[in-house]
Amino acid sequence: MDTQNIKQRFGIIGNSPLLNRAIDIASQVAPTDMSVLITGESGSGKEVFSHIIHQLSARKHGAFIAVNCGAIPEGTIDSELFGHEKGSFTGAHEARKGYFEVANGGTIFLDEVAELPLGTQARLLRILESGEYLRVGSSKVQKTDVRIIAATNVDVYNRVKNGKFREDLYYRLNTVPLRIPPLHERKEDIYLLFRKFAADFSDKYRSPGLQLEPDAIQILTNYSWPGNVRQLKNIAEQICVLEKDRNVTGQAILNYIPNEAGSNLPMAINSTSKEDFTERDILYKVLFDMKKDMVELKKLVAEIIQHGGNTATVLADNPQYINQLYRDVELPVGQEHAFTIQQPTPNNNNSNNDYFAHDAEEVEESLSLVDKESDLIKKALKKHKGKRKFAAQELGISERTLYRKIKELNL
């Protein structure tokens, strides 16, 4: 059966090369009894492909059982899959056949196979290798002839590396890998699928047909569709029921796309991204802070000049300047005083340029500044009655810095 006939028979919409390739693989492997591992995102249609493989195989007249491994509790999954004997556990009032016994001669589809417990994985591996299994609570070996198709929406090999999935079982299931492409890799199929769903729901609810405006088609096409075909179908149904205007615009489409998925919407070309805008704001803030610091520095220099170059007096009278020094800089322990301003000797004969060129130099340590700093800390502690948190806020430094300085200065 060719690809187009398979699409018509199983209701598959789309012409994506990736979709066509998946259908070709399914049709080629179907006549064999090889195990197939179907991978793909949630909602991409993995179960549909399991039906294709079963219906195109020699087992099409046998049973087809789909099992969601992630929905069965760990304590009962062995009983569900392999059956149990009467009295084998609390509540086992009679013997029960498992899915592998019921599906004998047919196909069993294990969805979310990566969620199987390790003990169940060992039982499944034995079936794949020999067709044998044991009912829970029984020592009698049972035989079954079942084709296994498994599916998962996670990277099973990563679970193998993490010790959560048996490596030997992975390779037995993955005899033929089949990947179903997500909807965002089939952009050319999105509008076709929406039209099909919209037509079906219009007939179901006896409502007028929908017509999408060009901007609505563009939004549908560029959206990433994390829920894949299932999400697209749900949104088509919502629009068919809720929209009064049957000419659907892009704005109307946006009303049905979840807000938390806003980052998945297309970005207008030549527009400024949020990241660029944030960086620009940060740059402006840095420039404004630098301007503020320059203003403070000018005030400090003016105060020093007015006091005849007595730096210590200016700092004592204006503790905010010391706060400014320690606002953004955390020096290593013992290095807080590696730089200070040496008090200049006033010389009225010097020009302003000479004054600024010689009245400041780097020195190893200034005892006068240490004393002033100690006095400021004492005053702050006294003002706030020994409460270091508020004293630190008054000085414009962190509590950690204040604790360190109290320890260093033996206050």
pLDDT per residue, tens digit, the chain (411 aa), is 789 999 999 999 999 999 999 999 999 999 999 999 999 999 999 999 999 999 999 999 999 999 999 999 988 999 999 999 988 888 888 999 999 999 999 999 999 999 999 999 999 999 999 999 999 999 999 999 999 999 999 999 999 999 999 999 999 999 999 999 999 999 999 999 999 999 999 999 998 889 999 999 999 999 999 999 999 999 999 999 999 888 999 999 999 988 644 445 544 434 443 434 445 556 656 666 777 777 777 777 777 777 666 665 655 566 555 555 555 444 444 544 444 444 444 555 544 444 444 444 444 444 456 677 778 888 888 888 888 888 888 888 887 787 778 877 777
Per-residue confidence (pLDDT) for residue 107, from 0 to 100: 97
Task: Please tell me whether residues 210 and 352 are part of one structural domain.
Answer: no
Sign of the CA dihedral with 193 first, then 194, 197, and 202 last: negative
- Listed in sequence order, the residues at least 6 apart from 140 whose beta carbon sits closer than 8 Å to its beta carbon are 134
Encoded tokens for 24 = 């070709």
Does residue 288 lie within any of the structural domains? no
Encoded tokens for 407 = 């320890």
Nearest to 320 by CA among 403, 399, 406, 395: 395
Per-residue confidence (pLDDT) for residue 400, from 0 to 100: 77
Per-residue confidence (pLDDT) for residue 269, from 0 to 100: 39
Task: Please tell me whether residues 206 and 156 are part of one structural domain.
Answer: no
Strands 132-134 and 141-143 come out as antiparallel
d(CA 393, CA 291): 23
Per-residue confidence (pLDDT) for residue 230, from 0 to 100: 94
Asked whether 122 and 170 are in contact (CB, 8 A), the reply is: no
Per-residue confidence (pLDDT) for residue 317, from 0 to 100: 62
Instruction: Say which DSSP state 261 is in.
Output: G
Per-residue confidence (pLDDT) for residue 292, from 0 to 100: 72
Return the CATH number at 191: 1.10.8.60
| Number of independent structural domains in the chain | 3
CB neighbours (10 Å) of residue 216?
Answer: 22
Task: Please tell me whether residues 250 and 330 are part of one structural domain.
Answer: no
* Residue 349 three-state SS: coil
d(CA 84, CA 125): 19
Nearest to 148 by CA among 185, 196, 87, 100: 100
Asked whether 99 and 65 are in contact (CB, 8 A), the reply is: yes
Polymer length in residues for the chain: 411
User: Which domain-ending residue is among 125, 150, 181?
Assistant: 181
CB under 8 Å, gap of 24 or more: what pairs does 261-269 form? 261/223, 261/224, 261/226, 264/223, 264/224, 264/225, 264/226, 265/219, 265/222, 265/223, 266/218, 266/219, 266/222, 266/223
Task: Please tell me whether residues 88 and 227 are part of one structural domain.
Answer: no
Task: Please tell me whether residues 153 and 258 are part of one structural domain.
Answer: no
Per-residue confidence (pLDDT) for residue 284, from 0 to 100: 59
Instruction: Say which DSSP state 301 is in.
Output: H
What are the distances in angstroms from CA 14 to CA 41, 128, 181, 182, 406?
Answer: 17, 34, 12, 12, 74
Per-residue confidence (pLDDT) for residue 308, from 0 to 100: 66
pTM above 0.85, yes or no: no
Does residue 301 lie within any of the structural domains? yes
Per-residue confidence (pLDDT) for residue 277, from 0 to 100: 43
Give the H or E element holding residue 151.
Answer: strand 147-152
Per-residue confidence (pLDDT) for residue 343, from 0 to 100: 46
- Listed in sequence order, the residues at least 6 apart from 251 whose beta carbon sits closer than 8 Å to its beta carbon are none
Per-residue confidence (pLDDT) for residue 166, from 0 to 100: 95
Task: Please tell me whether residues 126 and 190 are part of one structural domain.
Answer: no
Asked whether 341 and 373 are in contact (CB, 8 A), the reply is: no
Q: Which domain holds residue 191?
A: 184-264
Per-residue confidence (pLDDT) for residue 362, from 0 to 100: 47
